[in-house]
Structure 1
């Protein structure tokens, strides 16, 4: 098989092709690439002319890959992704004062960002880049300097230090009437703010009541949200009773925005951990950050 550069199409247009094929739109691909639609179209035409066949079919409802276009995309996409990861690793090697960390949206918003403000004041020369996603996994954490994972602290290929234990309790607005709540059954009579946890690892009312040996059989209204931040905001607005995680609800309680309904605190036995790949050679900036975050968790 011929392996010299003459057998390859122009490499630059392949980046444009991958974006259009992945997104399914010239317009949206142009926005992602910070270019005009015309510039993207010209690059695709250049690639098609070089290859000698069409890559897309223009349909009424959008773009479809041709059969050879699909084969090209399936070969090009993983190569470009690998190239992006390689570039990221090389940049990290030279940018020793830059740290990357991945965590859930809730951990980023309620736990990490408030701490980072203090960290940056103490170590202004170190830059911390945060990636927030609810599609968190051990394998994803290995692509960054650090991750914050929820579980029992045991993940293959990762080392971790515990940051905080999971503690969950019902919360409501400070003036919300709960004087007659003495049991789980009483709670279930109130309007409840439920979490739709499909697709991510998080406890909802069904799980919480089961930990107390009760079935989730609410007799009051149930409002459902797919993000814990929305659920907490709904509780703050007086729409009902939500589950509050200690690391998220504590500041809201201290500010008087919500209050904890007493006698229903649950400690699950799981925790959040700062993790990194076992084989990773941590930079001096990473070591400083790891020690600082661990110490802030202990204090």
Structure 2
């Protein structure tokens, strides 16, 4: 006679009982009554002809037979849940999560999202922006575009832009103060600072003045802001001179909203880097390829 197969409706219930060590807790987690859970376990014990739980005043522990069955149930539940998630993903529109800072999100990615959608209309991009995204942050992203030096990133990262900054301001502000490429011309003017972290990894005004061999102390008219978008808006509004990042500020320079007001300062090993997630999906790889292609163009 063929061996009688077990009814598999018990698997998730028994997995919860063994994991939680309580019939009542398992019933609460699964939205069932305690008698229903107890009945399922006892029925399973009858089918197998051996106790699966050692019941006590403080709960239930697995018997040796119960431990063996619980290992199989736990593996089965994990495998079935993973399969269900994969099937649900197949029926949904693909989503790619891009983790980056506000500067890259606002000035580079957002103006180009529509272009990516034209090429990949079935993929949705979720941009997760942080004021000071850290290269060491272990975010649950599909793609990360982060600022740092080459040593911050592994072999799988790709540099998109090297760090290059130069003073920028509105055309009206430059004309009013007679600004040229002379670094000394902005010494007495109000400066706009990005103040999003106590230990910035990027060039700040003191770095730029040191490289230009010009002395300049913080002035009363200086303004500190916590996102790069606010810094740029303040520069457009004639509030002072900001450091413009090549790659982010190019559009405002091209359309004349901002103008360069001094020499550039750069370092090749630093800048924006793109890092794939641990197991990038096909849509994530499409986004990575598209970003790299757009930067090269």
Pair 1:114 & 2:114 matched: no
The verdict on how the C-alpha distance between 1:112 and 1:157 changes in structure 2, with shifts beyond 3 A counting, is: same
Structure-2 separation of matches of 1:141 and 1:255: 37
- Gap runs ≥5 in structure 1: 13-86
Corresponding residue of 1:234: 234
Structure-2 separation of matches of 1:221 and 1:115: 35
Structure-2 separation of matches of 1:245 and 1:227: 13
Pair 1:95 & 2:89 matched: yes
Question: Following TM superposition, by how much is the alpha carbon of 1:219 offset from its aligned partner in structure 2, in angstroms?
Answer: 5.5
Question: Following TM superposition, by how much is the alpha carbon of 1:171 offset from its aligned partner in structure 2, in angstroms?
Answer: 0.9
Question: Following TM superposition, by how much is the alpha carbon of 1:214 offset from its aligned partner in structure 2, in angstroms?
Answer: 3.9
Pair 1:212 & 2:212 matched: yes
Q: Where in structure 2 are the equivalents of 1:216-295 lying within 5 Å?
A: 216-218=216-218, 221-262=221-262, 264-269=263-268, 270-277=270-277, 280-295=278-293
8 Å CA contact 1:164–1:271 kept in 2: the answer is yes
Question: Following TM superposition, by how much is the alpha carbon of 1:133 offset from its aligned partner in structure 2, in angstroms?
Answer: 0.8
Secondary structure of the 1:247 match is coil
Number of matched residues? 223
8 Å CA contact 1:196–1:204 kept in 2: the answer is no
8 Å CA contact 1:192–1:220 kept in 2: the answer is no
1:208-258 CA-to-partner distances (Å, cap 9, x unmatched) read: 223334443255721222222111111111111111112232211222211
The verdict on how the C-alpha distance between 1:132 and 1:92 changes in structure 2, with shifts beyond 3 A counting, is: farther
Pair 1:133 & 2:127 matched: no
Structure with larger Rg:
2
8 Å CA contact 1:189–1:220 kept in 2: the answer is no
Structure-2 separation of matches of 1:226 and 1:172: 18
The verdict on how the C-alpha distance between 1:158 and 1:132 changes in structure 2, with shifts beyond 3 A counting, is: farther
Structure-2 separation of matches of 1:206 and 1:91: 51
Secondary structure of the 2:156 match is strand
Structure-1 separation of matches of 2:244 and 2:177: 16
Pair 1:194 & 2:193 matched: yes
Structure-1 separation of matches of 2:193 and 2:139: 32
Q: Where in structure 2 are the equivalents of 1:41-56 lying within 5 Å?
A: none
Structure-2 separation of matches of 1:7 and 1:156: 48
Structure-2 separation of matches of 1:256 and 1:275: 32
Question: Following TM superposition, by how much is the alpha carbon of 1:123 offset from its aligned partner in structure 2, in angstroms?
Answer: 0.7
1:105-131 CA-to-partner distances (Å, cap 9, x unmatched) read: 111111111121100011101111110
- Gap runs ≥5 in structure 2: 1-17, 31-80
8 Å CA contact 1:170–1:260 kept in 2: the answer is yes
Q: TM-score, normalised by structure 1?
A: 0.64
Corresponding residue of 1:163: 160
The verdict on how the C-alpha distance between 1:234 and 1:156 changes in structure 2, with shifts beyond 3 A counting, is: closer
Structure-1 separation of matches of 2:141 and 2:86: 10
8 Å CA contact 2:195–2:227 kept in 1: the answer is yes
Structure-1 separation of matches of 2:206 and 2:87: 46
Which of 74, 98, 104 lines up with 2:101 in the alignment?
104
Structure-2 separation of matches of 1:117 and 1:2: 47
8 Å CA contact 1:173–1:258 kept in 2: the answer is yes
1:67-108 CA-to-partner distances (Å, cap 9, x unmatched) read: xxxxxxxxxxxxxxxxxxxx99x8588536221110001111
Pair 1:151 & 2:151 matched: no
RMSD: 3.2
Q: TM-score, normalised by structure 2?
A: 0.65
